[in-house]
Structures are given as structure tokens and as C-alpha cells.
Structure 1
Amino acid sequence: MQRVLREEGLALAEPLQPERLQKLVYRYCPPSIGNLFALPRVGSLDALEWWTELSGQPRHLNELPADEQEVLKQRLNQRLLALDNLITELEKRGDPAASELRVLPTHPDTNNLYSINGEPLLIRWVPVFSTSAPSSVISPNAAPSPPPTAIRPPSSAPASPRRRWVIPLLLPLLAGLALLGLWLTFAHWERFSTPWQRSEGETLPFACRNDDAPPPEFVTIFDTSGSMNLNIQTSPEDEQWLFNMPDFLRELRANDPRMQRLIAGPSRLTVAQHAFSDLVQAIDPNIDIGLVTYQGCETTVVQGIFSADQRPQLIEGVHRLVADDGTPLAASLIRAADMVDGINRDAVILAFVDGADGCDQNQCAIAQDIANRQPRLRVNVVDISNSGLSNCIAEQTGGRVFGSQDAELISKMLIDAGRDALSEDYCDG
């Protein structure tokens, strides 16, 4: 954790509010939204400090070039829109957390916006006040406060005698309504799902479930090529620029802003590892999961086939993977196809990749050969570079392509790829 800013002469209007709100945000939202809000702390001499879990050099919005400012503001708006959609979903199901989360700024002042490796970070997202003038509260929103009305009743005015006897009568009614709301929520919880909250028992059902048909065989290809170390937002042009550069020039440009942006986190590998963990936890326990990874252009590695009891080891092993060297995508397809039947039994390969084969083999021709030999095998492609260079693999085998560079969507995208392959819809394909 690092400190972004230290401000003397400011204090929190409600000292307990930030921690309470952040607990709710991290409970309901992915880390990309949780990390949007800097954590306020009281430092030495009672100065207000803003801290973050993000790593990298903090840069204020105004310090960025104009194009980077627009990208940062667009990313901020995407995060806030996702947060707003979540709160709306919570409101629909009557979750009391919604009203607390609604106090978060929806149109924050850009003077409070920082960038850390391209990730937006907000300070002063809760009300603060000047310790020299406690009545002067600084709002986290950019929108000005509405002008005061001409006549405003004093806040200390006592309740009228008519209203005093009504309040005790209303309290039992309100308590009863609250209990009824809680009962409805728990009794019908499965109807109220949010994008980032799955019940522990929810899994993706396997295809054609009945007493006779076995579940489909399922193998994943996890890209561990060197390009997986790049930032998740790296474009094909930036990637080509980097890898076409001689090694000595790459070292000389180590401090180049473009170079720094490409090697900053979150990397494709980190995002892929977390998304893969979500997929493993969602797949039906009756389905064993095979895993193939790379080891340069020389070989591919069959990590094994993991049962439900072995899934913790599978997840732990994937998080230990290191990205390095070439992309033997075609060779990995051959190895994965050899692990399944695909002729008399349904089989699915889910290829989690960031581009095309980089080891002088034609992945499209290999996919066509697999389709001819194993007609009941389909390959779904999850392309986190969104380059489209491996789409032919899915097209040749009757699979589907999922592509995105949005770290927030990749986990959902990967699970959708598993759901498409392993749900009852698979039987109708």
C-alpha cells in the first residue's frame, strides 16, 4: 500500500463512513471498483492522508497528456456505471446496502482524480472539512449544491403535538415491514443475483444430464507466453512496437512512458489467473478439468486432469505459472485434443489466449484437422487481447469466440464460455 497525498488542515466529516462504505464496496464489487476509492487515514500532526493498494507512480489528471486524460475519465465513467448498475440491482431486491452505497459520488470532481498505471483513483470521495473552518464542508461531487430556498424551517424546531403520538404507533409497523423484507430476501435469494456475487452452491451444469450420457470431457489451454506479461489494455500496435524492438533498444527505453504503460499492472497473466479461478469454481464437480500450458516453442506441458477434489491444487498451480517465451498455440491444440475422445463422446476445449501461434505453425489448419477427426469436439476461444487472430479455431470446430480487454468483464466472459459449452444449450448445438 502506498500514500498518494497528504493534506494538512483537512479532516473527515464522518470519520467512520469511509471504512464502512469500502467494506460494502469490496463485498459487492470486483477489486477494480473497490480500488477506485483511496483509503483515508489520519497521519502525523492529524493530517489527512490518502492511501491505495494500487502500485505505480500516482499522477494527477492534469499531469497527463490530453489523450491519456480522456482514456482515464472514460475508464472512471465505466467503473462508476458498473457501480451504479450494481446499486440499482441491490435496490430492486430491497438490500439496505443500496441506500448506503448511493452516497458514493457519481459525478466526482476531476480535481480529485489520479492515475496509477492508467487505473483511476479518487481522493476526497467522502465529505471533508477544513479544520480551521469546520462549517466549510467539501463535497466529493463536482456538481454545485442547489441554492438555498428563501424560507427554511430551523432544524431544531420541535415536532408538533399531533405528530408526537403518531411516531410510536408507526415504529411497530415499520419493524414488521423490515422483518417481512428480510424474510422475502432470504426465502427468494436465488432470484436476486448480482454480477459479482455467486452463491457457493452455484455451478455450471454439464450438457445432456441424464442417467446414461457421461458429462463432456473438458480441457483448458492457458496461455503462458511472454506477451501475457503485458498490461491488459495493450493494443496490437503497441505489442508489435514492443516485440519488434531490438533488445538493446528496449533496455534504453526502459523509462519511456509508452514502455512503462505496457509493462504496468494489471497484466494479462494476473487477470487471466483470477478469471480462471472463478471458472474452476463454477464448473460442475462431476466434470474433470484438464490443463495444458506452454513452455516456449519447444514444447507444451500437459499439467494433468484434475478432479473436483483436486481443484484447489489446480487453482494454486495456475497462480504459480510464469509467463515467458513463445506461443505454441497450434501444438497445444494437438495436445489438448489428444486428451479427449471427441468422436463417441462430447468434448470441449477452452483456449484462453492472447493472440495467434508464434511458433511457425498454422493454428487454423490444425483446428480444421481436429474438426475432421473429432467431430464432437468444439473449441471455444477466449481472446483477452481482443485481436481476433485465433477466431478461426472456434470457427473450424463449431465453437464460439469471446474477446475483451476489460479486466472487469474477463472473468464473466470466461464463465460464459464455460456456460456456453457445458450447459443444456450445448445439446442443441
Structure 2
Amino acid sequence: MQRLAFFTLQHIHQNGLNLLSRYAEIESILRRHLPPSTVDLFARPEVNADGSTVAWYTELQGQPHLLGKSQADQQQFAQIQPHIQQCLNVIHHLNQDLSAKGLLTPDQSTLLTQLVEGAKHNTVQVYMINNTPVMTGWGLGERIAEPVPVSAVPTKASRWYWWLLPFLLLLLGLLLWWFFWRTPLVEKAAIVPLAEPPKDTQPLKETPPVELPKVEPPSVEAPPEKVCRQKIIPAQAPQMVIVFNNASGMRYTIKEGIKKIDDFDRRLEREAVPRKEIDYMYRKPNRSTASKVAVNNILASIDPHIDIGLVELKSCLTRKPKTSAAVAHGVFSAQQRETLKQKINQMKVRENQVPGTPIYEGLEKALTMVDGVEREALILLITEGNGDCTLRDPCQLIKQEIQRRPKLKVNIVSINSPWNATDCLASLTGGHIFNREVNSELQLTELINQAVKSVQTAEICE
């Protein structure tokens, strides 16, 4: 753990001491439900005994760089701002969700609210460590005020006429008075004869006012009220399984493009690469942590009638088919979504470098959780694109299964991968391959969101 900053607390900062002193409780809540990359955004505060100073620490390794006011730093801050805002939104929604389910006390809910608000205070400083933002100073100070638009200041050449304004207002008032008070008198004088009309002159007959026919607005019938119902009937609800790759290739950062990762991976196979360079290519957010954030973000959008299965793929320890490297974590109902999130967050990437992933075995386990004959079945494979490590052919497995499971579909999210060994699984089942290059958790969330459109909540309105 390294120290990033040291603050001397002033009287104006005392309101934030309660929040800082309870950070351990806040961190415990966040780590139970959110991936480490979200929690790492907040530097850990350590307040001294008399509450006069606070030091800020992080578990991230690397050279920290404080983003200042230079143009380059401001450009970098603009690039990471969406990531910071996304993390704050995730914590906000987690607070609402847990509070609604009675899993947080009102005091704990207030702490999470103060944490999100504290990340927007004017004492916040942002450090970059291996392209990962870490905030110090949160919870202190005051919220940054929104900029107020400033009206244009008149030039000296145009100021000379301002003294005329009171006179113009007075003149306008006199004109209004003359109009509203004199007009009735004029009208009254106009209808009083000044002298008797001549005898041989017939008086003018007063013309009766012409009544205009009343025009009734056409009657418009109110549109019938829409009646909406859920599109998905529980007994006919589609089924879904997430096959989550946790092989060693998922340690690669998403901050680097496909070509650079491919070149580095080839070097790693044939030569000794310095540990510092390896750590840099494994820095967060990596494929694994970003996938966890993305999946947890879209779980709430999955229709509540749909149960979700979870299969974890790890790197093969050997190439023997009998050695299991795929784990079936079970099927989770809508009421167990929080448990599913915890299970996803607890998964860890394998350290060993055996090439490939147990895709064949993982698909076998996923197929036991879905029907695909009478009910729609979606298998979502989140992967780094590598092939099967037991040298079995997963494409042949799906080719056989699709003959008796016509409603089976496999969608693949391939994260910045130069390989396409599993593309056949999607093409054989009429599924889709989502392999657009991403460099942030937000972009990966959007990609996975597209891959699960068919099982998200929908309504039919009649």
C-alpha cells in the first residue's frame, strides 16, 4: 500500500470526519457487491487520533501522477470522467437496490449517499496510477458549484443611453394613463348630440349589433387508454446461461488494443519478459474486472421471469479431458440476483499460462441448464477468444445439439481478442458475435447490453 496525499484538516472539514472514520464499513459493503475496480476509485483515508490530519492510501501499485491544471492533464481528466461518473452511478443504484430490499440500515444508506456526494467536492484530487484513477480528498470541503452563465458587460460606447431609461419608463406610463382614462370620455362625448338635428332630416337609426354565430370546437374522442402487459409469460420465459471466462488471458488490460496484446502475448511465450512490463499489461481494468462490472450493470435489465445460470471457465491445468477446469455455479432466480452478483465478484482469474480454455466442458455444463427445444435458450459466452485447451471441438458439440435444440442460440462477446476460435458457436445457432474493440468498462457494458437484448424486460401495449 502506498500513500498518495496528506491533508491538514481545518474546521470547515469537520463535517466529513464521520464519513472518513467509517470508511471500513463503507468499503465492506462495496466489496460485497461491486468489483474491486469501483472500490479502488476511492483512496483509503486514515485520520490521526486528534482528527487534525488525514493521509490517503491505495493498494494499487505504480507511479502515481496527480492530474493538475495543465492542458494535457485536463484532457486526460476529460477522458476518465465518464468512468468516474459510471462508478458513482453504480454505487447510487446499489444503494437504492439494497435499501429497497432492507439489506442496508438507514445509517448505511446515508453513508453511501455521502460517499457519492463527497466525490464531487472541491477538495477532491485525482491521481492516475497505470491509467487507473484514484481520488483523494473526497468527503471534505463542499460540492463544486455549477457554473452560472455571465451576462455580457456593455461596452463604454453603449453606456451613455442608460440615463434615459427612467424617462422612457415615465413617458410610457403617461401614455398608458392617457389611453386607458381618456378613451371612455371620448366615446361618451361622441354619442351626445351637440344640437338638435334639422326637422327635415331623419335621425339615423341605430344599427343593431350583429350576432356572430357561435363556433363550437369539434368534438374529439379521447384516445383509448393503452393496456400494457409483459411480453414474457413465466411458463414460456426464455432461459439464459452466462459462460464467464476466467482463464489467464482475461488478465490483460482493456486499455491496450488488440495488436499490442497479441504482440505481447507472443513475446511472453518465447522469451522472459520483465515483471514490471507484465504488471503493466495486466493493469486494471483488465478483461476480467471489466467483465464483472459490465455483467453486474446489465443484470437489473434482464426480465425478472428469466432465471440465469452461471458457468465459470478456468485455464486448464493439463490437456487431459478428465481434468475438470469448468465450474457450474448453478441457476439463479430473480430473487437471487444479488447472490449471483456476489458469485461473479468472487471469481478469480487463473494464474497458470496453459494455453486455451475449457470451452467444450463449459458448454456441456451450460447445456444442462437450458432447454432449447420448447423454450428459447441463450448462452452468452464472455471470452478472450482462445480455443479449447483439451483439444476437443466445441463447434462439433453445438452442431450436434442444434439439431435437437432448434431454439438454442449462442451470443459471443469477444474482448479485444485477436483470436476467433469460438465464432462458429454463434454462426451455427444464428447468434451474434460482438467483438468491437473497447477500452473502458462503459464500452464493454454497452457491448454486453447488445448481446442480451433478447432477454431484457419488454412490454406489449394494446
TM bucket (normalised to shorter chain) is 0.5 to 0.7
Classify the secondary structure of the residue corresponding to 2:14: coil
User: What pairs with 1:22-421 in structure 2 (closer than 5 Å)?
Assistant: 35-43=40-48, 48-61=53-66, 72-82=76-86, 105=120, 112-124=125-137, 208-209=232-233, 213-246=235-268, 249-250=271-272, 252-256=273-277, 259-273=278-292, 284=304, 287=307, 289=309, 291=311, 293-296=313-316, 298-299=320-321, 301=326, 303=328, 305-306=330-331, 308=333, 319-323=346-350, 324=352, 325-328=354-357, 331-332=360-361, 335=364, 338-339=367-368, 340-357=370-387, 359=389, 371=402, 374-385=405-416, 389=420, 393-402=425-434, 404-408=438-442, 410=444, 414=448, 417-418=451-452, 420-421=454-455
TM-score (norm 1): 0.57
TM-aligned CA distance change 1:240 to 1:74, over 3 Å = farther
Which residue identity is paired with 1:303? A
In structure 1, what is the Cα distance between the partners aligned to 2:258 and 2:274?
19
Classify the secondary structure of the residue corresponding to 1:228: helix
Partner of 2:195: none
TM-aligned CA distance change 1:33 to 1:16, over 3 Å = farther
Q: Are the equivalent residues in 2 in contact too, given 1:274–1:411 (CA < 8 A)?
A: yes
Q: Are the equivalent residues in 1 in contact too, given 2:411–2:451 (CA < 8 A)?
A: yes
TM-aligned CA distance change 1:387 to 1:425, over 3 Å = farther
Q: Are the equivalent residues in 2 in contact too, given 1:353–1:381 (CA < 8 A)?
A: yes
TM-aligned CA distance change 1:411 to 1:371, over 3 Å = same
Partner of 1:6: 6
Which residue identity is paired with 2:233? R
Bigger drift between 313-322 and 375-384 goes to: 313-322
TM-score (norm 2): 0.54
Task: Tell me the percent identity.
Answer: 18
Classify the secondary structure of the residue corresponding to 2:267: coil
In structure 2, what is the Cα distance between the partners aligned to 1:221 and 1:83?
24
In structure 2, what is the Cα distance between the partners aligned to 1:88 and 1:276?
17
In structure 1, what is the Cα distance between the partners aligned to 2:115 and 2:252?
37
1:157-205 per-residue CA deviation (whole Å, 9 max, x = no partner) reads xxxxxxxxxxxxxxxxxxxxxxxxxxxxxxxxxxxxxxxxxxxxxxxx9
1:5-53 per-residue CA deviation (whole Å, 9 max, x = no partner) reads 235x664632223764998x98999775664454554448977444244
1:106-151 per-residue CA deviation (whole Å, 9 max, x = no partner) reads 8999xx43222321123345767xxxxxxxxx9989x9xx9xxxxx
Report deviation, 1:264: 2.6
Which residue identity is paired with 2:416? S
Q: Are the equivalent residues in 2 in contact too, given 1:4–1:52 (CA < 8 A)?
A: yes
Bigger drift between 392-401 and 345-354 goes to: 392-401
1:326-348 per-residue CA deviation (whole Å, 9 max, x = no partner) reads 33465257525753442333222
In structure 2, what is the Cα distance between the partners aligned to 1:306 and 1:86?
24
TM-aligned CA distance change 1:400 to 1:347, over 3 Å = same
Q: Are the equivalent residues in 1 in contact too, given 2:118–2:140 (CA < 8 A)?
A: no
TM-aligned CA distance change 1:326 to 1:388, over 3 Å = closer
Report deviation, 1:353: 1.1
In structure 2, what is the Cα distance between the partners aligned to 1:206 and 1:336?
30
In structure 1, what is the Cα distance between the partners aligned to 2:385 and 2:230?
28
TM-aligned CA distance change 1:312 to 1:249, over 3 Å = same
Structure 2: which 5+ residue stretches go unaligned?
Answer: 94-109, 151-228
Which residue identity is paired with 2:364? R
TM-aligned CA distance change 1:335 to 1:121, over 3 Å = same
TM-aligned CA distance change 1:49 to 1:106, over 3 Å = closer
In structure 1, what is the Cα distance between the partners aligned to 2:304 and 2:392?
34
Bigger drift between 324-333 and 346-355 goes to: 324-333
Which residue identity is paired with 1:406? S
Q: Are the equivalent residues in 2 in contact too, given 1:328–1:357 (CA < 8 A)?
A: yes
Classify the secondary structure of the residue corresponding to 1:15: helix
Which residue identity is paired with 2:242? T
Q: RMSD in angstroms over aligned alpha carbons?
A: 5.4
Classify the secondary structure of the residue corresponding to 1:218: strand
TM-aligned CA distance change 1:358 to 1:302, over 3 Å = closer
TM-aligned CA distance change 1:108 to 1:384, over 3 Å = farther
TM-aligned CA distance change 1:381 to 1:56, over 3 Å = same
In structure 2, what is the Cα distance between the partners aligned to 1:76 and 1:248?
35
Classify the secondary structure of the residue corresponding to 2:127: strand
In structure 2, what is the Cα distance between the partners aligned to 1:45 and 1:302?
50
In structure 2, what is the Cα distance between the partners aligned to 1:423 and 1:219?
17
Structure 1: which 5+ residue stretches go unaligned?
Answer: 90-95, 129-137, 147-204
Which residue identity is paired with 1:254? R
In structure 2, what is the Cα distance between the partners aligned to 1:262 and 1:417?
27
